Amino acid sequence: MSESRHDTPHLPGPSLWPIGFAIGVACLLLGLVLSWIIAAIGAVLAVAFGLLWARDVTRDVRGEVPDIDPETRAVSDTAAAVAPVAAPAPLPSYTRSRFLEASTLGLGAAIGAVVTLPVLGFTILPSFTNREESEADLGPLENFPEGQFVIASFLAHPSQGEVSRRTTFVRNNGLTEAGVPSFTILYSRCVHLGCPVQPNGPIDEQATKEIDGVELRPVLAQSFGCPCHGGLYDAEGNRRAGPPVRSMDRYTFSIRNGRLVLHELYAVGNVSGTGANATISKYPWSTPGTHVDGIEAWLYPIVPSQVTG
């Protein structure tokens, strides 16, 4: 008589590795928008928990073959004693449940990659490709009287025509305490939704002049307003009313051979002081509607720089 045994399938116990792996992937994707440090931490977590998860799933397959007592065969009393014969060691087996589990995980990973990679390509890659840095020569410094705003309109890319026209509000602040020329150069797009900002003051159309493709118009502006949604900025570009989320963007500049040259845009959180004595909170340029400082900058991550002129 032999005892009948019913084999029960082995089910893996609960594991926290998939949760850690998911948290690592989430941190990695979030870090691509927020910070490379967060992305690196997420990558480390995803790799570490992924390896631990794979190790846990394949534990039975990688396990050592258990020792099995050698098979012995009973003989009759009259038969001569026969030396016991050792049974061959069984080969490692890969059960159907394990195969289905591994197949499901592999298929899920493949589907996730097919769905995720194109999304990352469309959302992340454009921020790091096809970026252009242009310069704009606004002409001699004599065209910008000290203490007065001038509306400067120019083509960022003349080969593209009017579609690349940009408008800035330029004020010559004189010299700083270090004897360096100071200019306030405000970009004319509202940081709410990108509508064109208008100066709140009379424009001297009679004094309009065009020099080397740059149109200059003096204006007595004490503030700036957005006619689309009621945004209001002071003479330093600080938000005073309405829906804008930060101060007006500014251009970096340099002086070359007595001429004012504009470079890239940058975002401004807040401006303290005025003119040459102003202290500017500078941040990498970001699209309108994006916070660059305060807790909102974490709740609404900074959008990587895009093509600007």
C-alpha angle with apex 249: 247 to 253, nearest 5 degrees? 135
* Residue 190 is assigned to a structural domain of this protein: yes
Q: Give yes or no: residues 280 and 164 share one domain.
A: yes
* Residue 10 is assigned to a structural domain of this protein: no
The DSSP result for 56-124, as a single string, is HHTHHHHSPPPP-PPP-----TTSPP----PPPPPPP---HHHHHHHHHHHHHHHHHHHHHHHHHHHHT
The span from the first CA to the last CA of the chain, in angstroms, equals: 91
- Provide the residue-wise pLDDT of the chain in tens; the chain has 309 residues: 445 555 555 555 566 778 888 888 888 877 776 677 888 888 888 888 888 877 777 766 555 545 555 555 555 555 445 556 666 666 666 677 777 777 777 777 777 777 777 666 656 655 555 445 578 889 899 999 999 999 999 988 888 888 888 999 999 999 888 888 999 999 999 999 899 999 998 998 888 888 888 999 999 988 999 999 999 999 999 999 999 989 999 999 999 998 999 999 999 989 998 888 888 999 888 888 888 887 777 766 545 444 444
Q: Give yes or no: residues 23 and 155 share one domain.
A: no
- Cβ-count burial of 234 within 10 angstroms (0-12 exposed, 13-18 middle, 19+ buried)? middle
Q: Give yes or no: residues 170 and 289 share one domain.
A: yes
* CB neighbour burial string for 54-81, b if at least 16 within 10 angstroms, e if fewer: eeebeeeeeeeeeeeeeeeeeeeeeeee
Q: Cα dist. 126→26, 108, 132 in Å?
A: 21, 27, 12
Q: Give yes or no: residues 233 and 182 share one domain.
A: yes
Is residue 146 classed as helix, strand or coil in its secondary structure?
A: strand
Distance CA 218, CA 144 (A): 9
Q: Are 162 and 156 in contact (CB under 8 A)?
A: no
**Which region, left, alpha or beta, applies to residue 163 given φ > 0 means left and ψ of -120 to 50 means alpha?**
alpha
Number of domains into which the chain is organized: 2
* Residue 68 is assigned to a structural domain of this protein: no
Report which residue type is found at 135: E
Q: Give yes or no: residues 119 and 142 share one domain.
A: no
Q: What is the CATH number of the domain that holds 198?
A: 2.102.10.10
Question: Global pTM?
Answer: 0.58
Residues 6+ apart with CB under 8 A from 159: none
